């Protein structure tokens, strides 16, 4: 029971980490496309003036850059500060809580 519970918790934490990494990489990929469009419009005079692209200007890129930087810092902060040792401590805490609950019911 204890081993099964710890495996479930580890699996859930791994899924969450993969999900956040996937979101980060997707955001960075879309941001890169936005940078390419912005540079093409601004510096090379590309005629990209149709609906969604004509709104890409310096202000939009600065705000977008801010949010990407915040997302990257949040991800790096969680990885470095809450690394494997923190995860292992949390897993042990959950396992101990489940043991106590199980003992109380018996």
**What are the tens digits of pLDDT across the range 1-28?**
556 666 777 777 778 888 888 999 999 9
Say what the pLDDT of residue 29 is.
96
Say what the pLDDT of residue 62 is.
92
Positive or negative, the Cα torsion across 68, 73, 79, 82? negative
Which runs of consecutive H residues, i.e. helices, occur in the chain? 2-44, 58-81, 84-105
Residues in the chain: 106
CA 36 to CA 63: how far, in whole Å? 16
**What are the tens digits of pLDDT across the range 26-63?**
999 999 998 998 888 888 877 877 677 777 788 888 99
In the chain, domain spans: 2-105
Residues 6+ apart with CB under 8 A from 71: 23, 24, 27
Under DSSP, the state recorded for 46 is: -
Say what the pLDDT of residue 25 is.
94
């Amino acid at each position: 029971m204890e081993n099964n519970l710890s495996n479930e918790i580890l699996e859930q934490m791994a899924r969450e980490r993969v999900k956040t990494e996937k979101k980060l990489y997707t955001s960075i990929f879309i941001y890169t496309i936005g940078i390419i469009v912005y540079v093409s419009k601004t510096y090379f005079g590309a005629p990209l003036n149709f609906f969604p692209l004509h709104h890409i200007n310096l202000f939009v890129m600065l705000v977008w850059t801010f949010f990407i930087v915040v997302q990257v810092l949040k991800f790096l902060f969680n990885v470095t500060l809450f690394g494997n040792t923190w995860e292992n401590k949390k897993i042990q805490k959950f396992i101990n809580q489940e043991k106590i609950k199980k003992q109380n019911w018996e």
